[in-house]
């Protein structure tokens, strides 16, 4: 039974990683930008939710409703103000721009909020520890289940949106070939800004969920970026459903690692990421040499 | 007033001066065949009219309004559509999605999804196929169909028959006559002179970035065009 419990916790944790990675995956898939400020934007959203809830005594869930459009606007402005300009100068410049943004955000948050570690856990009442007890050794936390459901809804909703709506088609067309998209009447720059707005709004969701289930401080962002990046790479770059799988694999690896020794929690995740990455590189290497067998010299 | 007026247009690709002080006007209903050797500047001229390349000098007016610095997607909204060289379909999307992507501009008119499928029966059979998996002829049909979905007043076709089997080219050109039902004015770049002359009402020939021959198709002899094509007329006048 504890094995079932272990798996269930791993999968639920994976839901959080998938939610976190969704925006990174979307921005990479559409604009070919790896947003190094991804984690810091999540933390920014967490602080915004914290501030609104603290000032008005609101539930963080209500504050989140107010923060979502704010963060969407941040994403839109980020694309229009910084990324669009930097994209014109090739691949490296957007990477550097978001790296700079990451450092700036961390230090601005430090200026504004200080070094204290905070959590939204004490603002959501019993939800933070309530769980559904299946057996004495297997229980499912309401919050973890809620986060997983949210991740599935966001990823599923985004997939449907991209597939079946006019704007979704425009985003996919622009992702494939922005110049040709313009030639069929799609305003590629506006589409990019919309995609960035959606991506950063999902980051805000993830940041708020992190702040409810754990603690955060102004420098928590980079670790979240690493988790998101690992989930995206494990799941296959640019695929939304792959991102869900990647998040789950990462969550499982960490939970299983931690079951052997709590110190292994992070290490098991990183190792899984490295193994998947190595396998991918090996597969590409083998493919370039006409398949696995011939590349290993097993075929005359 | 002419539909399209190009005034002393200069377009550069870096150091290459691809289009040099080109001026011409096209009236509504004309079918212009733009011919010339490889590298004469035909594609660049079409791309500049569509807004895919910004000119370094001169101006373009469409329906009386200056569009020289207008972005490509806005020109589509005004009624200019380009079928680019190499088709440039969205390979990860289905044929139907490719066509629908061009509906976002919201120009309603004669051409609808059904009308385009009717025009190219070979497409309706492959409606749900990924554009990346189509044959060359199907790709070209999809690319033309996608441009028609914006209900253009001016349709620019770049190298329609390039890389296609003669049978397929024949099919596409037969459909092309029906394209005119939508009321579009056409400028087509074509390597194959006979094909181009079979539909065109006017022939323009480019050489080294300039228009060297321009006139009604029926008034022009094949030799005249070939001479212009290779720049022989200049040699004849002793200016070479």
Each domain of chain A, given as residue ranges in start order, spans 2-295
Query: Do residues A247 and A18 lie in contact, with contact meaning Cβ atoms separated by under 8 Å?
Result: yes
Helix or strand holding residue A275 (H, E): helix A264-288
The model's pTM: 0.90
Helices and strands, number each (H, E), in chain B: 10, 10
What is the domain partition of chain B in residue ranges? 4-236
Contact yes or no for B100 and A169 at CB 8 A = yes
Per-residue confidence band for B239, with pLDDT thresholds at 50, 70 and 90? very low
Of B52, B91, B102, the CB nearest to A185: B102
Min Cα–Cα distance to chain A from B199, Å: 25
pLDDT for A297 equals 64
Mean of pLDDT values over B188-206? 87
Residues in chain A with CB shorter than 8 Å from the CB of B91 are 176
For B129-165, the pLDDT digits (tens) are 999 999 999 999 999 999 999 999 999 999 888 888 8
The mean pLDDT values, 10 residues at a time, for chain A of 300 residues are 86 96 94 95 98 94 97 97 90 93 97 94 85 82 94 95 95 95 96 97 97 96 96 87 94 94 92 94 85 64
Contact yes or no for A182 and B73 at CB 8 A = yes
Q: Give burial (CB, 10 Å; 0-12/13-18/19+) of B70.
A: middle
pLDDT for B15 equals 85
CA distance A183 to A180: 5
Contact yes or no for B104 and A188 at CB 8 A = no
Nearest residue of chain B to residue A164 (CA atoms) = B97
Query: Do residues A35 and A198 lie in contact, with contact meaning Cβ atoms separated by under 8 Å?
Result: no
Per-residue confidence band for B176, with pLDDT thresholds at 50, 70 and 90? confident
Nearest residue of chain A to residue B50 (CA atoms) = A183
- CATH code linked to domain A2-295: 1.10.3470
Mean of pLDDT values over B173-188? 82
Contact yes or no for B101 and A183 at CB 8 A = no
Phi–psi pair at B91, nearest 5 degrees: -60, -30
Of B72, B92, B98, the CB nearest to A182: B72
Provide the H-helix boundaries in A88-131: 92-113
Min Cα–Cα distance to chain A from B79, Å: 10
* In CATH, B4-236 is 3.40.50.300: yes
Contact yes or no for B90 and A180 at CB 8 A = yes
Q: Mutation test of the interface with chain A: which of B53, B73, B94, choosing the one with the most A Cβ atoms within 10 A?
A: B73
CA distance B63 to A25: 43
Of B72, B101, B149, the CB nearest to A173: B101
CA distances for A38 relative to A42, A45, A159, A225, B128, angstroms: 7, 11, 21, 6, 36
User: pLDDT higher for B71 or B169?
Assistant: B71
For B207-231, the pLDDT digits (tens) are 999 999 999 988 888 888 888 888 8
Min Cα–Cα distance to chain A from B214, Å: 27
Task: Give the range among A104-118, B66-80, B86-100, B189-203 with minimum mean pLDDT.
Answer: B189-203
Q: Report the complex ipTM.
A: 0.90
């Amino acid at each position: 039974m504890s094995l079932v419990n272990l798996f269930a916790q791993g999968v639920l944790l994976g839901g959080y990683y998938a939610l976190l990675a969704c925006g990174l995956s979307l921005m990479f898939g559409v604009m070919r930008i790896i947003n190094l400020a991804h984690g810091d934007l999540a933390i920014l959203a967490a602080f915004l939710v914290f501030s609104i809830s603290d000032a008005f005594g609101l539930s963080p869930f209500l504050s989140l409703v107010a923060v979502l459009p704010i963060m969407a606007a941040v994403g839109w402005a980020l694309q229009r103000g910084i990324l669009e300009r930097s994209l014109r100068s090739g691949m490296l410049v957007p990477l550097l721009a978001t790296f700079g943004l990451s450092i700036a955000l961390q230090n601005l948050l430090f200026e504004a909020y200080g070094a204290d570690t905070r959590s939204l856990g004490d603002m959501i009442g019993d939800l933070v520890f309530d769980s559904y007890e299946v057996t004495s050794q297997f229980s499912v936390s309401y919050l973890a289940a809620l986060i997983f459901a949210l991740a599935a809804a966001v990823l599923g909703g985004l997939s449907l949106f991209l597939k079946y709506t006019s704007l979704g088609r425009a985003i996919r067309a622009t992702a494939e070939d922005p110049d040709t998209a313009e030639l069929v009447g799609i305003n590629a720059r506006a589409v990019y800004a919309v995609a960035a707005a959606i991506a950063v709004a999902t980051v805000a969701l993830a940041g708020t969920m992190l702040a409810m289930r754990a603690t955060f401080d102004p420098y928590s962002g980079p670790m979240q970026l690493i988790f998101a990046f690992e989930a995206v790479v494990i799941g296959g770059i640019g695929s939304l459903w792959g991102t869900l799988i990647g998040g789950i694999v990462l969550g499982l690896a960490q939970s299983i690692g931690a079951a052997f020794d709590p110190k292994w929690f992070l290490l098991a995740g990183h190792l899984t990421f490295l193994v998947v990455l190595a396998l991918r590189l090996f597969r590409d290497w083998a493919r370039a040499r006409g398949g696995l067998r011939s590349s290993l010299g097993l075929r005359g | 007033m002419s539909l399209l007026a190009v005034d002393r247009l200069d377009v550069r690709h870096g150091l290459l001066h691809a289009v040099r002080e080109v001026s011409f006007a096209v009236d509504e209903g004309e079918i212009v065949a733009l011919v010339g050797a490889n590298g004469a500047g035909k594609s660049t001229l079409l791309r500049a009219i569509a807004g895919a390349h910004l000119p370094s000098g001169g101006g373009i007016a469409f329906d009386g309004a200056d569009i020289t610095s207008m972005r490509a997607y806005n020109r589509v909204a005004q009624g200019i559509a380009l079928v680019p060289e190499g088709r440039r379909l969205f390979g990860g999307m289905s044929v139907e999605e490719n066509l629908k992507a061009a509906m976002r501009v919201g120009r309603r008119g004669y051409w609808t999804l059904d009308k385009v499928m009717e025009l190219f029966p070979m497409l309706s059979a492959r409606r749900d196929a990924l554009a990346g998996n189509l044959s060359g002829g199907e790709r070209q049909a999809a690319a033309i169909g996608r441009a028609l979905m914006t209900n253009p007043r001016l349709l620019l076709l770049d190298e329609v028959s390039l890389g296609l089997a003669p049978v397929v080219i024949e099919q596409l050109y037969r459909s092309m006559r029906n394209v005119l039902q939508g009321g579009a004015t056409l400028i087509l770049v074509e390597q194959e002179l006979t094909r181009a002359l079979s539909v065109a009402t006017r022939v323009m020939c480019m050489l080294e970035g300039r228009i060297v021959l321009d006139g009604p198709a029926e008034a022009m002899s094949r030799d005249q065009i070939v001479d212009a094509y290779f720049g022989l007329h200049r040699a004849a006048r002793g200016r070479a």
